[in-house]
């Protein structure tokens, strides 16, 4: 249907493009959606039928995409002498699956080539490779939106915006945020949450000043740019340069999209008409095939029909939302009583946290937000965790577990005081811990000041807690999400395990269409992926990874580290093979002059960590054996690095695959 009209539009556009050519001044284009755009696409980039430029779609890993304006432009040396200016604005969106493990980048690029054939994905953003990064012969300038902090390139924060000149070390960078003209302050934003953002880049050739201004979709252009830097573009780029976008993903599946784009040489880029932009995939169907050409009557009829359709859908949505509102607000289901467990009133928690005020927010984790509160009745300090709960599947088991965990008593377990349910939300009430979670102390500071003695005590405490869950209580409790960020520290720096069984709800409900397994990437035992059954063995696996984290001071997966160091388990194993296992140890540990660094203990913990995170479940020790080894009541079995099954990152990196299984299954006294 759109064929004749569409073709006509394309031909007209092409004629306009060709007549203007790349002559220099006063050239510009505007795409409110890319239906009629003739872009030069490579990698996974394509334009969807509704005009959305999908650089990387459907949550893909290790992908590269490029989309460039097909004609190179002259952006230096204007025909009448002076330096050229340019200005561009575009709307983009980025989505990634794992809330706490970002892995992608997106960039606006001035490049001498329109496909960059030698570039790599992941941290190289589809712009450079290992040898070309930092080389002046790239003649490339980019404004990057990076969602991962990569120390290799001196990245400043998890999500940041930076100006890059021939290098991934930005000449200027800032955490992702925008200037709010209302509050006169910068507000930080989450870039990869699927929300669209608008970006303006303005280059003033005379002053060689490059301004980058970010704002959430729909807000007017802020009066203060996010970045403003002196970059002499004429010195960097070639006479003819392509303008466009590059996107890449790493170990974590992600998507990136561009909704509209305008560009002007020597002038202000035309404003985008936000109401004409294509929608992002979920709602794309509704406004697809919006008629643009043809008779006068047809569009009106279709528009009226669309409005009716929208009103009907709106009504149904409002009806459903209200129904849910009433259904979930106060209902306590019958079966809840049978398990007992303390149920708090929502009002009490609301008052305790001052109405879940942002200032009371203690942290945001994979499962939800945690607020600090003081119970109005008892005056006790608590931490309230709000968990999004989209389906009631798995909830019953979970409440049963809450009830039983509520009766658990152990000095290394964070006490769960009770829970509350409301409108698709589950609230869990824990005793409040004085210090932050262990991951913050280990990773988030430039140098962790936790000494080996403190770390070893935390390890032993957590081991005692897991042992208690597995064997010390009336029934076996599987934790399902052992990791540094679930270990909290009390006033005496004792490690206390929190967050029981939350992943259980996600095991059942889940995200249809993805092979997501509840738990946290990097701590998930392979048999959990294949058999989808949590056991004490999968807990031991995660505990092994936890041991390595604590001793090495590194997260289990660092997508942007150099390839050999991406997977922590593999890196430690490699060091062991080279006969230098202690090379993997946190360098801060040896520098601390506390005097309690014991090389033999550290080595034992590393080897024990590898043994626990063995790919072969049978070869892992039980928590009872782990406890005895940590306490010095038993010695580690004599092992060599070849006894451990390995996970290897294939170079240059697209797939994570298992390449070998140990020849000898270890005997650890079973
Ligand atoms: C798109 O532009 C390129 C470069 O100008 C040209 O070679 C190609 O024929 C155009 N394609 C279409 C479909 O217009
Ligand atoms: C890196 O990219 C450059 C071009 O930018 C290319 O000449 C070189 O061969 C590439 N190196 C590798 C190792 O791919
Ligand atoms: C930018 O570099 C060009 C070429 O080297 C030079 O002619 C021009 O004066 C420089 N502009 C500024 C503002 O420094
Ligand atoms: C934006 O697009 C809408 C719908 O196509 C149109 O009604 C409106 O006039 C446009 N606004 C501007 C400023 O061009």
In order, the DSSP letters of 574-624 are HHHHTT-GGGGS-HHHHH-TTS---HHHHHHHHHHHHHHT-SSGGGSPPHH
Q: How confident is the model at residue 552 (pLDDT cuts 50, 70, 90)?
A: very high
Residues 444 and 405 in one domain: no
391: domain CATH number is: 3.30.200.20
In a domain, 310, yes or no: no
> Given CA atoms 137, 261, 56, 514 in this order, what sign does their dihedral have?
positive
299, two tokens: 């569009």
Residues 508 and 604 in one domain: yes
Q: Among 401, 384, 600, 360, which residue's Cα sits nearest to residue 502? A: 401
Residues 280 and 345 in one domain: no
pLDDT digits (tens, 9 = 90+) for 78-90: 655 567 889 999 9
Residues 426 and 442 in one domain: no
Provide the β-strand partners of residue 28.
264
Name the maximum alpha-carbon separation found in the chain.
87
Where in 482-546 does DSSP place strands (E)?
487-489, 495-497
555 has a pLDDT exceeding 80: yes
Question: Is 385 annotated as contributing to ligand binding?
Answer: no
178, two tokens: 């925008």
Atom 11 of ligand 2, nearest CA residue:
131
Write out the DSSP string of 349-387: HHHHTTTT-GGGEEEE-SSEEEEEEE-TTT--EEEEEEE
Residues 491 and 531 in one domain: yes
Confirm whether pTM is higher than 0.85: no
Provide the β-strand partners of residue 244.
68, 109
In the block, which residue shows the tokens 């509520």? 406
Q: Among 126, 111, 103, which residue's Cα sits nearest to residue 192? A: 103
Phi, psi of 132 (to 5 degrees): -85, -20
109 has a pLDDT exceeding 90: yes
Whether residue 411 has its Cβ less than 6 Å from ligand 2: no
- Sequence-separated (6 or more) residues with CB below 8 Å from residue 392: none
Who has greater pLDDT, 77 or 259? 259
260: domain CATH number is: 2.60.120.200
Kindly identify the ligand whose nearest atom is closest to the C-alpha of 120. Answer: 2
User: For the chain, first and last CA: distance in Å?
Assistant: 71
Mean pLDDT, residues 483-500: 85
Q: Of 387, 408, 431, which residue sits at a domain end?
A: 431
Residues 414 and 491 in one domain: no
Rounded-to-integer distance, Cα 369 and Cα 387, Å: 7
- Sequence-separated (6 or more) residues with CB below 8 Å from residue 80: 25
Atom 12 of ligand 4, nearest CA residue:
273
Q: Of 376, 400, 431, which residue sits at a domain end?
A: 431
Residues 84 and 228 in one domain: yes
In a domain, 130, yes or no: yes
Phi, psi of 521 (to 5 degrees): -50, 135
In a domain, 388, yes or no: yes
Rounded-to-integer distance, Cα 616 and Cα 526, Å: 9
Rounded-to-integer distance, Cα 380 and Cα 382, Å: 6
Give the rounded distance of the alpha carbon of 122 from its chain centre: 13
Whether residue 129 has its Cβ less than 6 Å from ligand 2: yes
Catalytic residue among 96, 155, 202, 481: 481
32 has a pLDDT exceeding 90: yes
SS3 207: coil
What confidence score (pLDDT) does residue 279 get? 83
Residues 445 and 382 in one domain: no
Whether residue 70 has its Cβ less than 6 Å from ligand 1: yes
Q: 411 with 463: CB under 8 angstroms?
A: no
Q: 449 with 592: CB under 8 angstroms?
A: yes
Cα(121) to ligand 1 centroid in Å equals: 27
Mean pLDDT, residues 333-339: 62
Whether residue 273 has its Cβ less than 6 Å from ligand 4: yes
**Residue 202 designated active-site:** no
Cα(593) to ligand 4 centroid in Å equals: 67
* Mutation pick for ligand 4 pocket among 273, 274, 278, 279 (CB with most ligand atoms within 8 Å): 273
Who has greater pLDDT, 255 or 53? 53
What confidence score (pLDDT) does residue 158 get? 64
What confidence score (pLDDT) does residue 376 get? 85
Q: How confident is the model at residue 289 (pLDDT cuts 50, 70, 90)?
A: very low
The rounded percent of the chain whose pLDDT value lies above 70 is 73
In a domain, 194, yes or no: yes
User: Strands across the sheet with 40-43, in order?
Assistant: 40-43, 64-68, 242-249, 104-111, 141-146, 160-165, 172-175
Q: Among 632, 589, 629, which residue's Cα sits nearest to residue 609? A: 629
Q: How confident is the model at residue 6 (pLDDT cuts 50, 70, 90)?
A: low
195 has a pLDDT exceeding 50: yes
Who has greater pLDDT, 401 or 292? 401
Whether residue 14 has its Cβ less than 6 Å from ligand 1: yes
In a domain, 17, yes or no: no
224 has a pLDDT exceeding 90: yes
Average pLDDT, the chain: 77
In a domain, 356, yes or no: yes
What confidence score (pLDDT) does residue 457 get? 93
Helix H or strand E segment including 398: helix 395-405
Residues 280 and 416 in one domain: no
Mean pLDDT, residues 400-413: 74
Whether residue 270 has its Cβ less than 6 Å from ligand 4: no
Which has the minimum average pLDDT: 370-384, 430-444, 585-599?
585-599
Q: Which domain holds residue 371?
A: 335-431
- For the CA of 70, the nearest atom of ligand 1: 4
In the block, which residue shows the tokens 């859908």? 313
Which has the minimum average pLDDT: 112-121, 430-439, 440-449?
440-449
DSSP label of 391 = -
Which has the minimum average pLDDT: 128-132, 188-192, 301-305?
301-305
Instruction: Tell me the chain's radius of gyration from C-alpha atoms.
Output: 28
634 has a pLDDT exceeding 70: yes
Q: Count of CB atoms within 10 A of residue 137's CB? A: 8
Rounded-to-integer distance, Cα 54 and Cα 209, Å: 31
Q: Of 402, 431, 460, which residue sits at a domain end?
A: 431
- For the CA of 38, the nearest atom of ligand 1: 1
Rounded-to-integer distance, Cα 153 and Cα 175, Å: 15
Q: 139 with 236: CB under 8 angstroms?
A: yes
What confidence score (pLDDT) does residue 86 get? 92
203 has a pLDDT exceeding 90: yes
What confidence score (pLDDT) does residue 661 get? 28
In a domain, 319, yes or no: no
Cα(448) to ligand 4 centroid in Å equals: 55
Rounded-to-integer distance, Cα 293 and Cα 301, Å: 14
- Sequence-separated (6 or more) residues with CB below 8 Å from residue 58: 255
Residues 614 and 469 in one domain: yes
What confidence score (pLDDT) does residue 125 get? 85
Q: Among 58, 111, 440, 441, which residue's Cα sits nearest to residue 256? A: 58
Who has greater pLDDT, 186 or 330? 186
Phi, psi of 39 (to 5 degrees): -100, 155
Cα(444) to ligand 2 centroid in Å equals: 34
- Sequence-separated (6 or more) residues with CB below 8 Å from residue 373: 349, 352, 353, 354, 360, 381, 382, 383, 384
Rounded-to-integer distance, Cα 159 and Cα 24, Å: 35
455 has a pLDDT exceeding 90: yes
DSSP label of 261 = E
485: domain CATH number is: 1.10.510.10
Atom 9 of ligand 4, nearest CA residue:
273
Who has greater pLDDT, 224 or 188? 224
Q: 341 with 403: CB under 8 angstroms?
A: yes
446 has a pLDDT exceeding 80: no
SS3 650: coil
SS3 532: coil
Q: How confident is the model at residue 328 (pLDDT cuts 50, 70, 90)?
A: very low
Instruction: List, chain by chain if needed, residues with CB within 6 Å of any ligand 3 atom.
Output: 83, 207-208, 232, 234-235
Burial 275-304 (b: 16+ CB within 10 A, else e): eebbbbbeeeeeeeebeeeeeeeeeeeeee
Q: How confident is the model at residue 547 (pLDDT cuts 50, 70, 90)?
A: very high
Mean pLDDT, residues 94-99: 66
34, two tokens: 């890319």
Q: Among 441, 561, 549, 548, which residue's Cα sits nearest to residue 103? A: 561
How many domains are there within the chain? 3
Phi, psi of 92 (to 5 degrees): -135, 165
Mean pLDDT, residues 629-639: 86
Q: 484 with 439: CB under 8 angstroms?
A: yes
Residues 405 and 473 in one domain: no
Q: How confident is the model at residue 557 (pLDDT cuts 50, 70, 90)?
A: confident
Mean pLDDT, residues 26-31: 86
> Given CA atoms 653, 659, 664, 670 in this order, what sign does their dihedral have?
positive
Residues 502 and 385 in one domain: no
Which has the minimum average pLDDT: 525-539, 591-605, 609-623?
525-539
Q: How confident is the model at residue 118 (pLDDT cuts 50, 70, 90)?
A: confident
Q: 484 with 550: CB under 8 angstroms?
A: yes
Q: 105 with 145: CB under 8 angstroms?
A: yes
Helix H or strand E segment including 573: helix 568-577
In a domain, 18, yes or no: no
- For the CA of 232, the nearest atom of ligand 3: 1
Phi, psi of 359 (to 5 degrees): -70, -20
What confidence score (pLDDT) does residue 53 get? 93
- Sequence-separated (6 or more) residues with CB below 8 Å from residue 504: 394, 397, 398, 401, 480, 518, 534
Whether residue 132 has its Cβ less than 6 Å from ligand 2: yes
Atom 14 of ligand 2, nearest CA residue:
118
> Given CA atoms 191, 428, 391, 520 in this order, what sign does their dihedral have?
positive
Cα(236) to ligand 3 centroid in Å equals: 10
Q: 177 with 226: CB under 8 angstroms?
A: yes
Whether residue 6 has its Cβ less than 6 Å from ligand 1: no
């Amino acid at each position: 249907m759109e064929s004749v009209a569409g073709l006509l539009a394309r031909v007209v556009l092409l004629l306009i493009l060709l007549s203007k050519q790349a002559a220099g001044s006063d050239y510009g284009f505007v795409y409110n959606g890319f239906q009629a755009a003739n872009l030069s696409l490579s990698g996974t980039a394509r334009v969807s039928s509704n005009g959305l430029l999908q650089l990387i779609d459907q949550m893909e890993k290790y992908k590269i995409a490029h989309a460039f304006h097909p004609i190179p432009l002259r952006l230096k040396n204007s025909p009448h002498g002076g330096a050229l200016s340019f200005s561009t604005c575009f709307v983009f969106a980025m989505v990634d699956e794992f809330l706490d493990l970002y892995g992608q980048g997106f960039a606006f690029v001035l490049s001498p080539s329109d496909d960059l054939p030698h570039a790599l994905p992941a941290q190289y953003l589809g712009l450079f490779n290992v040898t070309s990064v930092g080389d002046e012969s790239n003649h490339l300038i980019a404004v990057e939106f990076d969602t991962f902090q990569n120390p290799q390139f001196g990245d400043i924060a998890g999500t940041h915006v930076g100006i890059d000149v021939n290098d991934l070390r930005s000449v200027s960078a800032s955490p992702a945020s925008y200037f709010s003209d209302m509050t006169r302050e910068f507000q930080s934003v989450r870039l990869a949450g699927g929300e669209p953002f608008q970006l303006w880049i303005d280059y003033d050739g005379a002053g060689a000043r490059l301004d980058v201004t970010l704002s959430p979709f729909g807000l007017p252009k802020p009066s203060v740019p996010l970045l403003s830097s002196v970059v002499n573009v004429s010195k960097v780029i070639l006479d003819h340069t392509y303008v466009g976008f590059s996107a890449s993903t790493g170990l974590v599946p992600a998507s990136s999209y561009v909704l509209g784009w305008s560009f002007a040489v020597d002038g202000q880029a035309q404003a985008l008409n936000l109401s004409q932009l294509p929608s992002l995939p979920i709602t794309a169907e509704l406004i697809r095939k919006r008629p643009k050409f043809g008779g006068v009557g047809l569009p009106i009829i279709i528009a009226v029909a669309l409005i009716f359709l929208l009103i009907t859908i709106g009504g149904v949505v409002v009806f459903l939302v209200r129904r849910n509102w009433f259904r979930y607000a106060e209902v306590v289901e019958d079966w809840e009583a049978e398990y007992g467990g303390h149920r708090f009133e929502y009002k009490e928690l609301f008052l305790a946290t001052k109405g879940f005020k942002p200032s009371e927010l203690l942290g945001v984790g994979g499962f939800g937000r945690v607020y600090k509160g003081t119970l109005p009745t008892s005056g006790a300090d608590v931490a309230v965790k709000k968990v999004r709960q989209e389906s009631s599947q798995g909830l019953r088991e979970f409440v049963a577990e809450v009830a039983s965990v509520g009766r658990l008593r152990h000095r290394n377990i964070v006490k769960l005081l009770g829970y509350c349910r409301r409108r698709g939300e589950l609230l869990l009430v824990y005793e409040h811990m004085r210090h932050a979670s262990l991951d913050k102390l280990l990773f988030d500071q430039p140098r962790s000041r936790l000494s080996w003695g403190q770390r070893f005590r935390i390890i032993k405490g957590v081991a005692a807690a897991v042992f208690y869950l597995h064997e010390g209580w009336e029934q076996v409790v599987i934790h399902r999400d052992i990791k540094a960020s679930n270990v909290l520290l009390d006033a005496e720096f004792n490690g206390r395990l929190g967050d029981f069984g939350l992943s259980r709800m996600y095991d059942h409900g889940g995200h249809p269409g993805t092979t997501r397994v509840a738990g946290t990437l990097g701590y998930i035992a392979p048999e959990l992926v294949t058999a989808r059954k949590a056991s004490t063995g999968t807990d031991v696996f995660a505990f092994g990874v936890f041991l390595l984290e604590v001793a090495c001071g590194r997260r289990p997966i660092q997508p942007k580290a150099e390839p050999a160091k991406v997977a922590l388990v593999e890196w430690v194993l490699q060091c062991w093979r080279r006969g230098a296992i202690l090379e993997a140890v946190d360098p801060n540990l040896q520098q601390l002059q506390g005097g309690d660094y014991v090389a033999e203990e550290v080595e034992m913990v590393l080897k024990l960590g590898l043994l626990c995170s063995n790919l072969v479940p049978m070869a892992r020790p039980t928590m009872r054996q782990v406890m005895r080894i940590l306490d010095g009541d038993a010695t580690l079995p004599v092992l060599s690095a070849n006894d451990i099954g390995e996970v290897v990152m294939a170079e240059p990196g697209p797939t994570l695959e298992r390449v070998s299984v140990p020849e000898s299954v270890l005997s650890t006294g079973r």
